[in-house]
Structure 1
Amino acid sequence: MSQALTVARPYARAAFAVARDEGSFAAWSDALGFAAQAAADPRVAALLPNPQLAQADAVALLAPAGASESFTRFLTVLADGRRLSQLPEIAGLYEDLRAESERLVKARIISATALPAGELEAIKAALKKRFGREVEIDTAIDESLIGGAVIDAGEVVIDGSLKGKLNRLQTALAN
């Protein structure tokens, strides 16, 4: 996996530079997200390395409707280098660069049950205070947590779930 990220990194930086110069971070995020999702589809992934697939057809397959000329050229460069399969990694690295540039932390809150809007806002405010950046929250439900929540904000993971507490208690008692 690290080799894939190493290969994808310069392409993500190039995409970020073009998006920054054009002032179109969101449009590039959408286009890269679409292309990455399409390239990750097993049927498309099996088709991309086929030498009978024309480069223009591969680009047309992966470019969303209304994609900018610069994005289409970007896909063409990827096709020339046989790197279209790297689109999921490129999109992920691009989003990391965009978040860093916009001073944004993306946090995922996984809870045992749906959290009320008030609690989500309180968590968002606490994370904003902790990181000194704007926070974008994504939520998910995992009933196996029993209760509480796990907050994953990149390199920081806060496990306040009952399942996590029980696991820590079990480890402490075993020692």
Structure 2
Amino acid sequence: MTQALTLARPYARAAFGLSLEGGRSAAWSQALAFAARVAADPQAQALLNHPLLSPADAVGLLAMDGSDEAFTRFLGLLADNRRLALLPEIAGLFEELRAEAERVVKAKVTAASELPAAELEAIKAALKKRFGREVEIETAIDASLIGGAVIDAGEVVIDGSLKGKLERLQTALAQ
């Protein structure tokens, strides 16, 4: 995984630079996400790795209808360099670069049960104050947390779950 990220990083930076030049980072984001989903599919991987598939045909499989010329050239470069398998990593790194440029923090809130909208807004406001950036929240439910929530905002993880508190208490008592 680390090697794939290392190989994907320069391509993601190049893609992000190209998307900024055209002012089409949102369109590139969608196109990269689509190409990454296709490239990650096991059946598509077998086809994309087939020696008789030309780079142009590979690009045809991965490019969405209406993709701009710069994007199709980018896919062609990946195909020529046999780097199409890196598309999921490239798409992920591209999204990180885009969020950083747009000054947006993406946070995932995992709770034991569905949180009310007012609580999510309070969490969003607190994170916005803490990071000084706009916040996009994704929610998930994990009943094993028992109660409370875990907030994962990139490098910051706040564990306010009952399960986490019990684990910390158990560790403290064991010492």
TM-score computed with the length of structure 1 as normaliser: 0.98
The equivalent residue for 1:22 is 22
Q: How many Å separate the matches in 2 of 1:25 and 1:7?
A: 21
Q: How many Å separate the matches in 2 of 1:172 and 1:43?
A: 49
Q: How many Å separate the matches in 1 of 2:100 and 2:168?
A: 33
Q: How many Å separate the matches in 2 of 1:106 and 1:35?
A: 22
The equivalent residue for 2:92 is 92
Alignment of 1:34-113 (within 5 A): 34-113=34-113
The alpha carbon displacement at 1:42 in A equals: 1.1
The alpha carbon displacement at 1:158 in A equals: 0.3
The equivalent residue for 1:167 is 167
The equivalent residue for 2:121 is 121
The alpha carbon displacement at 1:25 in A equals: 1.1
The AA in structure 1 aligned to 2:63 is: A
User: What is the RMSD computed on CA atoms of the aligned residues?
Assistant: 0.7
Q: 1:71-122, CA deviations, whole angstroms, 9 ceiling, x for partnerless residues?
A: 1111000000000000000001101111111111000001111111111000
* Count of aligned pairs between the two proteins: 175
The alpha carbon displacement at 1:21 in A equals: 0.8
The equivalent residue for 2:146 is 146
Q: The residue matched to 2:82 in structure 1 has which SS?
A: coil
The alpha carbon displacement at 1:165 in A equals: 0.7
The alpha carbon displacement at 1:65 in A equals: 1.9
The alpha carbon displacement at 1:37 in A equals: 0.8
Q: The residue matched to 1:53 in structure 2 has which SS?
A: coil
> Which 4+ runs in 1 deviate beyond 6 A?
none
The alpha carbon displacement at 1:43 in A equals: 1.0
The AA in structure 2 aligned to 1:3 is: Q
The alpha carbon displacement at 1:54 in A equals: 1.8
Which stretches in structure 2 are left out of the alignment for 5+ residues? none
